[in-house]
Amino acid sequence: MFKGSLVALITPMRADGSVDEAALERFVDWQITEGTHGLVPVGTTGESPTLSHEEHRRVVEITIAVAAGRVPVIAGAGSNSTAEAIDLARHAKRAGADAALVVTPYYNKPTQEGLYLHFKAIADEADIPVVIYNIPGRSVVDMSVETMARLAKHPNIVGVKDATANLARPLQVRRACGAGFCQLSGEDHTAVAHLASGGVGCISVTGNIAPRLLSEMHLAWQRGEVADAIAIQHRLVPLHDAMFAETNPGPVKYAAHMLGFGEPDCRLPLAPISEATRGQLRAAMVEVGLLN
């Protein structure tokens, strides 16, 4: 259903902190022109925790309108409130998204049964394909393979964005959920290794600023040109390192600003990145060939 290089989009903003809709439109079109295979607005990288519901919906609508069916759009629809997640997923369907990305509920710390009931309710009520977003580093809960296998039986639950960086996990999920369950990495450093373990793509942070290289890497893998895919992954390591030198999306917002897409800073409580990280970013972008 989804494969290749998908990008966890930033939300460009103006100097006053408002969403820069014109920059977002340019950015989405540039991503597609550069070869990105799918767009994922209003996830964590899109600053969903600090967007209002109105802004959230507007970003989804703009992304879908500019994409115009050229690539699939998986709209962020996560919340630690099941009712709120259902509402956001319903909006994603009305807006024309191809799927909803739903994160495991953060802060509440639900049990595995709670996770199962949360995702089942969203899949039942919103009636849109759902991609589970498993990121224990942010949500503090880790969906077990057993729970994922239960959910994979639901016709509307189609895959997972796996940000565990546990490379045994895609092997286990494939065995439990079947080859048709869409496994997307959520961790740039291990994207190729995840492909080798049963994945079909990656929802990338680095793809915001290096979409062409990430697209070429995944296309090389799909053609069986494994050595070429690995070579691109090695080339991107300093950029991946810089992207996560501070809390995401601080570094990637600054990097996108250097490419002309929006202001450099995130909304509070994320502080502007340090001078040291700015220097690391610039050096990595020069090394990879994104800046002169």
Which of the residues are catalytic?
A: 133, 161
How many angstroms separate the most distant Cα atoms in the chain? 52
Record the tokens describing residue 60, joined without a space.
Answer: 């989804």
Q: Which residue has the tokens 């609508």?
A: 61
